[in-house]
Amino acid sequence: MLFRSVAPFAAGTGIVLNEVDPSVEATIRWRSVIHNGLPTNTAILYVARIRYDDAREDAIASNELNVRAAPLFANAIPGLPFGLDGVVGPGLGSEQRALFSDRFIELPPATPVADGNGAPYLAQLAAGNAEILEENRETAGTLATFQDERLARTLRFLREARFGTLVTHLFVIRAFLPSAIGDARSPSLDSLRESLHEELDRLFIKLRLPNYAIAPRDVETPSLRATVEQVLHEASQARGIPEEASTASTELRGSFHPVELREMAECLRPCELAAALPWSALARLLPDETNVFNEYRTRLIETLDALADSDSADFLEALQHRAQSSLDEALEALTSSLRATV
């Protein structure tokens, strides 16, 4: 709707549009958001009235709503003006909980509470229970298997892929990516391993050229991003731990939080290519069962998380020019422990 000016609010008048040209079409959209602590069974009905030059009046009425909530948690969470009429808990494993009664409705995803509307209290509540929430988050397991010959080949490759900067550790993610996630098959894992081998093997060769500058396409392509997203989606639904491999000489196991990878997968969609976030997500799938692997994985995740908000140019600069001495030391301890087993 086009208009030249809007009069300020006046008591009892609402919004007034002045000097609207004749024949201009006015489109009015009305959206109601109800957040209140009214008693159960209270009926709510809103009416909007529109007047045209004091000559005509239209009325738009909302659908009638009936309050079904009861103040179940009124004493537990003071300051919140709503309650619950029923509680549906999470299902076990992959079981989906269904709402069979018309007494319940499914709410849309929650949005952050605005400042001044209870946010400080909720922030304190979350901070006070952070450790409890962390302990209760469900975990799933990963498994990377190696025959002696393959493990020796992997260690030799990692010894040759030491470039003195963060890019070294992309090759470590490629080397120890799991072969199984959870107790079910992950169809995209094989595709991801093949894609990482193809992309990083080319980069391995290019980095031996004098003064070669890493380009975004060396780190990630649209096809690789799509495969990473699919693996993270499958991992976010994983449960349990993989079974033991019958033919492997060395088994490297790890654990991760599926809910964390689900959140990271959602953040990947708007993220530009050749950024740190997908590598940070994949680092969470590395082994962590032994002390040396846990130390290395923790340092790698911290390093990549610190770059998660950086743009592609900053991440590429860190890959090629930023030394990671503590991370390199943790990698050396890791590979030394594996060499002792070959």
Tokens of 315: 């991440």
Region 233-257 average pLDDT: 90
Q: Which residues pair with 7 in a beta bridge?
A: 16
CA distances from 145 to 13, 168, 180 (A): 73, 22, 9
65 burial via Cβ count (<10 Å: 0-12, 13-18, 19+) = middle
Region 216-242 average pLDDT: 95
Which of 318, 19, 13, 284 minimizes the C-alpha distance to 168? Answer: 318
Question: Does residue 188 register a pLDDT over 90?
Answer: yes
Which of 73, 72, 67, 62 minimizes the C-alpha distance to 105? Answer: 67
Q: What is the pLDDT of residues 68-98, one digit of tens each?
A: 665 544 444 444 455 444 444 444 444 444 4
Q: What is the pLDDT of residue 234?
A: 95
Q: What is the pLDDT of residue 283?
A: 98
pTM over 0.75: no
Give the highest mean pLDDT range of 102-106, 146-150, 294-298: 294-298
Q: What is the pLDDT of residue 332?
A: 97
Q: Domain spans of the chain? A: 1-82+99-110, 140-339
CA distances from 155 to 142, 250, 301, 332 (A): 20, 13, 21, 11
Which of 158, 200, 169, 173 minimizes the C-alpha distance to 319? Answer: 169
Question: Does residue 204 register a pLDDT over 90?
Answer: yes
The answer for 25, left when phi > 0, alpha when psi is -120 to 50, beta otherwise, is beta
Q: What is the pLDDT of residues 6-55, one digit of tens each?
A: 444 444 567 777 767 777 777 777 666 665 567 777 888 778 887 777 67
CA distances from 258 to 43, 150, 206, 231, 234 (A): 42, 29, 35, 11, 9
